[in-house]
Amino acid sequence: MQANADLNNNTPAPRKSKKRKKKVNWTLTSVMMVLAIFAILGPLYITIVIALKDPSQMSNVLSLPKQIHWENFKNAWQMTNFPKMFLNTLFITVVNVIFTIFTNSMAAYVITRYRLKNKFFNMMYYYFISAMFIPFNVIMLPLVKEVSAFHMDNIIGITFLYIVFGLPQNIFLYSGFVKEIPTALEEAAEMDGAKPMQIFFKVIFPLMKPMHATVAILSFMWTWNDFLMPLVLLSNPDQQTLQLAQYVFQGQFSTQYNLAFASYVLVLLPVLIMYVFFQKYIIAGVTSGSVK
């Protein structure tokens, strides 16, 4: 293998094609493949086959369904009030992503650009960064009191809180990115008489696109899968999310596993479909959100 690598060294081809020519380690490939199929896809396979069966076919859980019971999905759909929960969750997720990108990037841009020139913005920077160390679990008891006093214990209220609570992490993410943008463009725009808002939205905002993608993905994943915030803040049955509904309906599903699993599949499906199509961007986005 070493000789192989040395040989390739002599060719002036770029690194990518060099990788291609490497000898494939088939033992390792099979180990990784078997592990992926059994350990990772196994539980998903179980989830899907149970959702498609009826109780009489449950004696052998792992077998493929002899007869597919689509009505499980129909029943779970009605039982958990799926359309309402889905729209609630979709509303929270979409509105949060859009508002987070605009408001948080704006704040992060100003803070990053002016914190070395201005004490106030420098203070804001440290204020937000230190807030990253305060987990939600720490503030949830008093927050619930405050939220019900403001009558914000509903979908719109929680969406608003997601936008605000994302600030520390997003300022951290955007700030690392803004630092790399040269100031020349803004200075040129300023010379041409552009106003601050125009400079931000016309010049800077489009340049932040890769970080918008990361922030959008992380915000989406957070709100779609979050359980704790809806659990403590949303009590009205009409104002619940998909995740919370799964918890609330546990008692009603009781031992109707097929129905429960059909319901889980309904919740997982939108995310899985999205993953199939945008897998490359999601992986890149999550990586660049954690690693500089």
Positions in 159-218 near other proteins (CB under 8 A)? 161, 164-165, 167, 195-197, 200
Integer angstrom CA distances of residue 202 from 182, 189, 240, 248: 15, 9, 38, 46
Least CB distance to other proteins at residue 185 (A): 16
Which is nearer to other proteins, 52 or 111 (by Cβ)? 111
Assess 117 for contact with other proteins (CB under 8 A).
yes
Residue from 182, 186, 212, 211 nearest 197 by CA: 186
User: Where does residue 60 rank: exposed (0-12), middle (13-18), buried (19+ CB within 10 A)?
Assistant: exposed
The position carrying tokens 């992490």 is 169
Which is nearer to other proteins, 70 or 227 (by Cβ)? 227
Identify which range of 69-77, 80-88, 109-117, 207-215 contacts other proteins by CB under 8 A.
109-117
Q: Scanning residues 238 to 277, which ones bind other proteins (CB under 8 A)? A: 243, 246-247, 250, 257, 260-261, 264, 267-268, 271-272, 275
CA distance 225 to 241: 9
Which is nearer to other proteins, 239 or 267 (by Cβ)? 267
CA distance 138 to 292: 29
Least CB distance to other proteins at residue 287 (A): 5
Least CB distance to other proteins at residue 225 (A): 4
Among 7, 13, 41, 87, binds other proteins (CB under 8 A): 41
Residue 24 DSSP class = P
Identify which range of 65-73, 78-86, 128-136, 205-213 contacts other proteins by CB under 8 A.
128-136
Q: Scanning residues 63 to 102, which ones bind other proteins (CB under 8 A)? A: none
φ/ψ region of 97 (left if φ > 0, alpha if ψ in -120 to 50, else beta) reads alpha
Count the site residues for other proteins by CB under 8 A: 92
Assess 149 for contact with other proteins (CB under 8 A).
no
Q: Collect all residues with Cβ–Cβ distance below 8 Å to 289 and sequence separation of at least 6.
A: 173, 214, 215, 217, 218
Assess 131 for contact with other proteins (CB under 8 A).
yes
Cβ(253)–Cβ(51) under 8 Å?
no
Scored b (16 or more CB within 10 A) or e, 101-113 reads: beebbbbbbbbbb
Q: Scanning residues 19 to 38, which ones bind other proteins (CB under 8 A)? A: 22-26, 28-29, 31-33, 35-36
Among 11, 63, 118, 254, binds other proteins (CB under 8 A): 118
Least CB distance to other proteins at residue 276 (A): 9
CA distance 121 to 111: 5
Least CB distance to other proteins at residue 271 (A): 5
Which is nearer to other proteins, 70 or 102 (by Cβ)? 102
Cβ(80)–Cβ(246) under 8 Å?
yes
**At 278, which helix (H) or strand (E)?**
helix 257-290
Among 95, 143, 203, 207, binds other proteins (CB under 8 A): 143
